[in-house]
Amino acid sequence: AVYAGTKAFVSHLSKHLRVELGPKKVRVCAIEPGIVGTELQDHVTDAGANAWLEGSKDTVDWLRSDDIAQIVGFIASRPLRVNLPQVFIMPTAQAS
């Protein structure tokens, strides 16, 4: 629940920052990835979440950090007149 709450906060914060900073030509993009294979999984202490993570490896081809990095590079390389306010990046097989 806390994790979901913090993600919602970041989404709303991004919207407000766009309103405040857009007139100053500052772009704000909320990048919201699905499951990415990183060291984060090593810090999960919930047994149910760990079981889900292990099981998902058999059915979902997780994103890699370079997938996200390439998209960040694409977003940053757009002309200053272009802002991508929110980008969802999901493994093809991840439902939500």
**Is residue 24 among the annotated active site residues?**
no
Quick one: DSSP state of residue 33? E
Catalytic, out of 2, 3, 23, 47? 3
Rounded Cα distance, 5 and 94, in Å: 21
Task: Report residue 65 as tokens.
Answer: 């950090």
Residue labelled with tokens 């990048």: 31
- Looking at residue 83, its amino acid is N
Which residue numbers are catalytic? 3
